[in-house]
Amino acid sequence: TKHVPFSSPLLRDAGYINGVWTSGDAAGTFDVLNPATQEPLASLPDMGAAETRTAIDAAHTAQPAWAARPAKERSVILRKWFDLMVANADELAAILTAEMGKPFAEARGEILYAAAYIEWYAEEAKRIYGETIPAPSNDKRMIVIKQPVGVVGTITPWNFPAAMIARKIAPALAVGCTVVSKPAEQTPLTAIALAVLAEQAGIPAGVFNVIVGIDGPAIGRELCGNEKVRKISFTGSTEVGRILMRQCADQIKKVSLELGGNAPFIVFDDADLDAAVEGAIASKYRNAGQTCVCANRLYIQSSVYDAFAAKLAARVAAMSVGDGFTAGVEIGPLIDEQGLAKVEDHVGDALAKGAKVLTGGKRIDGAGTFFAPTVLTGVTRGMTVAREETFGPVAPLFRFETAEDVIAQANDTEFGLAAYFYAGDLKKVWRVAEALEYGMIGINTGLMSSETAPFGGIKQSGLGREGSRHGADDYLEMKYLCIGGV
């Protein structure tokens, strides 16, 4: 067992404003807990609206000079940040596992995945191209240039404490924006460690600021209401996304929203069943089911339902659950008691309405917030698992007969983030991919996230895309120049 290094050079018990580690005027503190043991890991200043305002001022002051640097200079600094993250991957992963609970190997994977966004946008920084447009008259020339939107406020969740921040900060800084970042109150230590490395990489004072505190609504109100902030980029629940979008309405502030999902995972009868089981394991049980792209509703075609259920249950029953620092553990704790209660509630509702437990089905006694990885059969539309995101290691298996029917069921949700399906026939693959109303479709795979691809949802799952060349657009304004009298 590896314990989080509190003497770690990557940790501070402070926020980061204008290049200084500070508590601001925070009167109180809050504790960060290890969800596997419920032990406190650190005590941090409980910063709020006043500190957020100071950070916004710093970001606003720093922004013109940062944007004025040649793209290559910003690129070199970001690349250095990437190198430092890779060099410190074990240390960062240990901090992440300690505060969030995911298995150490998965945490390390997340750190490298987060770093990949920094690397990608270090490269993209040099490729923010404009355009020239053939003018309708001979005396004019028409040009489009791209400029950074300005100060960006980011608010991020606990389930990917490194990656969710990196996906926003990397494109923002690459194109010349400056940032005030508010990590989730459950997982601020990873954000602090990233800022320590950002400082080492040479990111100038004020360009990247971190506010830590438990009053998300107060910090959010300042970020949304402050005129110096030109854009909010949020990842979290649809409910909070709606609040932020409303708060941004007064100033017509730009928003990028990465919200909840309710991913269908469809297995057709011509699929490779073993591959589908592996895909379901990856998509459903990664991060103990706590990702917004996790398979939430598994639809299995009638003729392969029993075979799929048996294979999946056998794999799931063999999964090892425990403290993320224990070697071989595949499922860590849920983030907190509230998260665990929601999973218990969803399973309880399904059982009361006739579902059966093939494996798992209940919490694991002890100090940490663990839920046994679960497979449910006999699941039907009237159950809560059919409508809401469970955010836990529970696979509810629905039975379907025809492609038309399963597509209708899969689309019958206000969410539209990720969907998955397994099928063999090429024609069906195309038809189903086109018919599913989702921003991302995994076809014969349970894992599709990559810094090279556009991540994002449609319907009430969000606005904007993160990653890929498209991700930079969210942080850029287009400016049209028309030159007359030529």
Least Å distance, CB 290 to ligand ADP, is 8
Candidates 5-13, 151-159, 276-284, 398-406; binding stretch for ligand ADP (CB under 6 A): 151-159
Is there binding between residue 184 and ligand ADP (CB under 6 A)?
yes
Least distance (Å) from ligand ADP to the CB of residue 147?
Answer: 27
> Catalytic site residue 414?
no
Tell me the site size for ligand ADP, rule CB under 6 A: 14
Q: How far is CA 413 from CA 156, 342, 379, in A?
A: 24, 19, 17
Least distance in angstroms from the C-beta of 237 to ligand ADP: 3
| By CB under 6 A, residue 237 contacts ligand ADP | yes
By beta-carbon proximity to ligand ADP, the closer residue of 236 and 464 is 236
- Cβ 236 to ligand ADP, closest distance in Å? 3
Q: Which of 51, 119, 222, 258 is catalytic?
A: 258
Range in contact with ligand ADP (rule: CB under 6 A) among 29-37, 84-92, 196-204, 238-246? 238-246
Residues 185-214 that bind ligand ADP (CB under 6 A): 185
162 belongs to the binding site for ligand ADP (CB under 6 A): no
Residue 339 beta carbon to ligand ADP: minimum distance, rounded to whole angstroms: 8
Half-sphere exposure of 275 (CA within 13 A, CB side): 17
Find the residue with minimal CB distance to ligand ADP.
220
Candidates 153, 171, 206, 236; binder of ligand ADP (CB under 6 A) is 236
> What is the nearest approach in angstroms of ligand ADP to the Cβ of residue 203?
22
Q: Does 323 bind ligand ADP (CB under 6 A)?
A: no
Residue 240 binding ligand ADP, by CB under 6 A: yes
Smaller CB distance to ligand ADP: residue 165 or 358?
A: 165
Joined together, the tokens standing for residue 127 give 């490729």
Query: 85 φ, ψ to 5°?
Result: -65, -45
Catalytic residue annotation: 258
- Binding interface with ligand ADP (CB under 6 A): 155-157, 182, 184-185, 216-217, 220, 236-237, 240, 243-244
